[in-house]
Structure 1
């Protein structure tokens, strides 16, 4: 093979491996210790640390719950935790994992795990706030017992959508519908929070089931405190790497065919409430729900 042919092959390889042409891939969630990304926020004596801080437990008793938050604020990214929920009779308790901005018309992305009586399934409620507006609840049963082992709960947030995952299975997609005059979180950095608290005024059967304090303390366990996001100040309106991170690339702007099949499976088998189909509560369907029906 002559020198010109080798040069041509080399040029093709360089082009193929350049950042502009390489296929983007998400950074796999890795196990990182609690203290790298998070700090306690209240009732510090109700947080216990294990294995050098790689695992923690939140405790709830009839005195107080507890919680923690991220050190930084983020505009877009991938955020996940592995959580083992309160076992046994957990009625009235809520374990929350969410992102929230600091302003009054705040943006928020919620996982809320609603406890139940022994033998009854947990309910996972998700919600999305945009510009201070919420009331976008969806509720599902999980297809496993979330108290027996750790499971991964994650959010992928980019300019195109917010996707909720359970063990890499998409359970909800909230698409950017600004073209329908629906606000979308894009200019308010958010911190990540988690907490274990008593909400027996509403959490279990609309508040009919009260917390049994004889079962206290209630314990939720956490590990793998993964953050892969664009860190920004609270005042930032955009991230200086916006559009350049893996989560902005085309393959992450929407679910692929297999992910849509999994989402439809969750919808058909495990969804027990969707605000988009609640005509009693919302006689007029919210604009973003029209796009949601395409799933």
Structure 2
């Protein structure tokens, strides 16, 4: 069964190669689109690649210089290796509003050496989150760079790992479901999540293995820039942006097949099936 799943994933990845190569373009250096916002002494900037690291004194983070109202946001990441239990590496979009923020999260939850990383995704709208999904990845995210993407347009949000859809969130505002509607910046960070990240907080960071280094590259941004103080992202719904074209209104059959494989074989937690914390099934769950 495991070999069948892996073969299926490899085939599905191969089907995306033509799309991937068609998007290749010259990559800007880090400083063109991003800047460090905290942990300045824990950042190594090599122009086309940036390392941020966590030790007992600090972690680090960076963010985009511009805010965006829609887009297909990509980052290539290699995660900390060795014993990374309790370490959180994150790549996300956020409106940076305390208490009422919109946010789309990739959170990589480290683990004891030899155990798998957990990739957690979440969607916040108007400050409401608690929409976590967790999966085990079918590859070692510490051995090399892998590509993580977030598609955000007026129709849906899709999270991708190496061009495989791993999370789908439809715009269901007609059902009263919140949907991100604020300008958001792109952020990345590494920090101590000992109180919750691994085994529900039972596994803490082992500082004997510090520093924990995360590597980032691929700093081009395909997004609709918008003033972060703007009251609307409506201009970013224009079909002049390729990620708003009909091709990106829903998953195509190949993407849907890949997504089904992930859902059935790699998901370890889905808030939609968590009756203890969600006794009433959230209305969007029937649409995902």
TM-score, normalised by the number of residues in structure 2: 0.89
Q: 1:39 aligns to what SS in structure 2?
A: strand
Query: 1:223 — aligned with what?
Result: 217
Counterparts of 1:68 and 1:194 in 2: how far apart (Å)? Answer: 6
Query: 1:14 — aligned with what?
Result: none
How far did 1:265 drift?
Answer: 0.4
Counterparts of 1:80 and 1:233 in 2: how far apart (Å)? Answer: 21
Query: 2:180 — aligned with what?
Result: 185
Contact 1:29–1:80 (CA<8 Å) still a contact in 2?
no
Question: Which deviations, in whole Å up to 9, do the C-alpha atoms of 1:212-266 show, x marking residues without a partner?
Answer: 1011111011111231111001122125353221111111000000000000000
Counterparts of 1:183 and 1:116 in 2: how far apart (Å)? Answer: 32
Match of 1:128 among 116, 123, 128: 123
Query: 1:22 — aligned with what?
Result: none
Query: 2:162 — aligned with what?
Result: 167
Counterparts of 2:238 and 2:168 in 1: how far apart (Å)? Answer: 20
Query: 2:264 — aligned with what?
Result: 268
Q: Does 1:256 align with 2:277?
A: no
Contact 1:230–1:239 (CA<8 Å) still a contact in 2?
no
Aligned length: 265
Query: Aligned in 2, Cα 1:82/1:189: closer, same or farther, shift over 3 Å?
Result: same
How far did 1:280 drift?
Answer: 1.6
Match of 2:284 among 284, 288, 291: 288
Query: 1:74 — aligned with what?
Result: 68
Counterparts of 1:95 and 1:102 in 2: how far apart (Å)? Answer: 18
Counterparts of 2:228 and 2:194 in 1: how far apart (Å)? Answer: 33
Gaps in structure 2 of 5+ consecutive residues = 1-18
Counterparts of 1:29 and 1:74 in 2: how far apart (Å)? Answer: 21
Counterparts of 1:138 and 1:242 in 2: how far apart (Å)? Answer: 27
Counterparts of 2:64 and 2:24 in 1: how far apart (Å)? Answer: 16
Match of 1:153 among 148, 163, 166: 148
Counterparts of 1:121 and 1:112 in 2: how far apart (Å)? Answer: 14
Gaps in structure 1 of 5+ consecutive residues = 1-24
How far did 1:281 drift?
Answer: 1.4
Match of 1:38 among 19, 34, 37: 34
Contact 1:61–1:213 (CA<8 Å) still a contact in 2?
yes
Question: Which deviations, in whole Å up to 9, do the C-alpha atoms of 1:69-123 show, x marking residues without a partner?
Answer: 0000000001111000000100010000000013341110000000000000000
How far did 1:29 drift?
Answer: 5.4
RMSD, matched Cα? 1.4
Residues 184-203 of structure 1: pairs in structure 2 closer than 5 A: 184-186=179-181, 188-203=182-197
Contact 2:35–2:64 (CA<8 Å) still a contact in 1?
yes
Contact 1:60–1:216 (CA<8 Å) still a contact in 2?
yes
Counterparts of 1:191 and 1:86 in 2: how far apart (Å)? Answer: 24
Query: 2:171 — aligned with what?
Result: 176
